[in-house]
Chains A and B, each alone.
Chain A
């Protein structure tokens, strides 16, 4: 994956962040979207008019006064499920994001700092995990483990850490050769001291900039896995709503898809885009120098 070295005038232009990214609006829009969903998730229990599993009326009722977004194929309130579905998405996003960065950080920083054979072994391991097809693996392990929220977040972290590990390793390798680290080594500072006082603070912002896209990916994945049937069936989630709707045999005979299928799809899109905008803004803020290799 070595991109050709960029030098001179072209380098300045290539590295310059496109100005659509520089607009402060992106972070704000993303923050507002994610914040709104966070409020929904937090207040979910009081905002939602019904209990998510309760059968509250006729089946496939159109949106109206009693049911803001109508009812689904077995008469549950769609709005309630939509509001409470926010929780799983956000919890998995946060847990999986933190887990991904933590695992990637341990491997990447460990490899970059120790170099030598430890580095070689860790990076070969990273390469192996990197090429595994992730979704089939998640489906298999998710089905085997049952797919509770925590298990799901752990699985997502366990499959997606290699990219973070690679980025962090290369960053640690560059940091290592900087003069302030060399000076610290010269003064006899131990590895642990240097990692804590020099490497981690320098990586801090990069870790955050990596956490947000990882969280966004987790939102899409959790919903997708629930859509494919991996997840706790008792817990309302957007992916499960899509699944139920598309599995309903007469969905398209009526116009029920309009209030049953489309809202969860739009919610997933909105949250994923919101997190991505936030991530792009954070990345730009952290350092344009570190503009990552786009694949």
Chain B
């Protein structure tokens, strides 16, 4: 397919812009699509918030812009987003942006660590399994990593919690750092945060590694019969080079795509795992928001997480063309 050189990138960026717009609009439309009126309790005589005076009710509706046409509400909402205003959290009585800015770094810390770790693990195990395809190592790896992929993150996390924080209390039960701790040195602080990270990251890594493993294994197997592998072997290259440089490198492409797709999975996994370990990130935040039915907070969290996932996917897809000059999608 011959296309102008620039066009694929533009198309990709366009698709992601479209998706971001869809996300933003969804957050606007959903609550308005569902039955119910946010100010219903004001006009309900049986509720504690009942306001007898209709003009006062109208004033409150006007304050929230709910008396304006939907189009005006929509543009006001977009204007707010442009100023990084995600609304006001009902349960915490704080701007949503402020709350998320405090929580997001912890989630990103877990996600990035787990994505990096799982990439290394799945790459090494995938190449090894492909190299030993059919024999006992391969079978053991397939069973182990398929199990890791199948068992839900929160189940793995709960079992890890019970095993390594309760039965054998090696790691802390909950949180991201010791409460009220004063550290003698910055290293002690890093060590403390690291110790709290271990179990959540392991739980998250297990699922992610299982997902990528098969991609790597299958791609590597498909390179094994190639002529260049035969030549490399005939040259007498050491096994390590054959394994990782000649066949492993070819598995990188689908692997990189998988990493991009996995950001979405990692977000989901992080939400679960954080809840198990009471880790102070977006997961526990959304969990609290669901319990309190704090919709502005939920909507803001969804918007921010969706943006993170979209940006990572876009970067991966743009990098894709650079990594493999053969790709001209």
Contacts and interface: CB of A to CB of B under 8 A. Distances in A.
A183 interface: no
A234 interface: no
Interface in B137-196: 138-139, 142-143, 146-147, 150-152, 154-155, 158-159, 162, 165-166, 173
Nearest to B289: A143
Nearest to A258: B162
A240 to B, nearest CB: 12
Given A132-B19, A145-B34, A8 B286 contact: no
Contacts of B211: 295
A137 interface: yes
Contacts of A50: none
Contacts of A3: 218-219, 222, 254
B295 interface: yes
Given A3-B254, A10-B224, A257 B162 contact: yes
A252 B165 CA distance: 10
Most interface-central of B162, B222, B272, B291 (chain A CB within 10 A) = B222
A242 B173 contact: no
A294 B142 CA distance: 13
Contacts of A269: 151-152, 155
A143 B158 contact: no
B318 to A, nearest CB: 14
Interface stretch (B45-53, B236-244, B303-311): B303-311
A125 to B, nearest CB: 9
Given A20-B142, A20-B143, A224-B154, A131 B215 contact: no
Interface residues of B, number: 73
Contacts of A273: 147, 150-151
B275 A227 contact: yes
A13 B15 contact: no
B152 A294 contact: no
Contact of B30 (A139, A144, A246): A144
Contacts of B218: 3, 14, 294
Contacts of B302: 133, 136-137, 139-140
Interface string B1-38: 00000000000000110110011000100110010000
Nearest to B275: A228
A2 B329 contact: yes
B222 A14 contact: yes
B173 A135 contact: no
Given A10-B221, A269-B151, A4 B286 contact: no
Contacts of B226: 10
B287 interface: yes
Interface stretch (B59-67, B97-105, B197-205, B261-269): B261-269
B202 to A, nearest CB: 16
A290 to B, nearest CB: 14
Contacts of B290: 139, 142-143, 228-230
A6 interface: yes
Given A131-B19, A269-B155, A1 B257 contact: yes
A81 interface: no
A150 to B, nearest CB: 15
B298 interface: yes
A4 B159 CA distance: 39
Nearest to A227: B154
B68 interface: no
A284 B2 CA distance: 38
Contacts of B158: 242, 246, 261-262, 265
A240 B310 CA distance: 31
Given A144-B30, A228-B272, A229-B287, A133 B215 contact: no
A230 B16 CA distance: 29
Contacts of A133: 264, 267-268, 302, 305-306, 309
B299 interface: yes
Interface string A1-21: 111101011110110001110
A18 B142 contact: yes
Contacts of A272: 150-152, 155
Interface string A102-114: 0000000000000
B89 interface: no
A227 B274 CA distance: 12
A143 B295 contact: yes
Contacts of A227: 154, 272, 275
Given A14-B221, A242-B154, A268-B152, A144 B31 contact: yes
B253 interface: yes
A124 interface: yes
Given A132-B19, A133-B305, A273-B147, 10 more contacts: A1-B254, A13-B224, A20-B139, A131-B19, A134-B264, A136-B271, A137-B306, A143-B298, A229-B291, A262-B159
Leading 3 A-B pairs by shortest Cβ distance: A10-B225, A135-B268, A294-B214
Interface of B: 15-16, 18-19, 22-23, 27, 30-31, 34, 133-134, 138-139, 142-143, 146-147, 150-152, 154-155, 158-159, 162, 165-166, 173, 211-212, 214-215, 218-219, 221-226, 250, 253-254, 257-258, 261, 264, 267-268, 271-272, 275-276, 283, 286-287, 289-291, 293, 295, 298-299, 301-302, 305-306, 309-310, 313, 327, 329
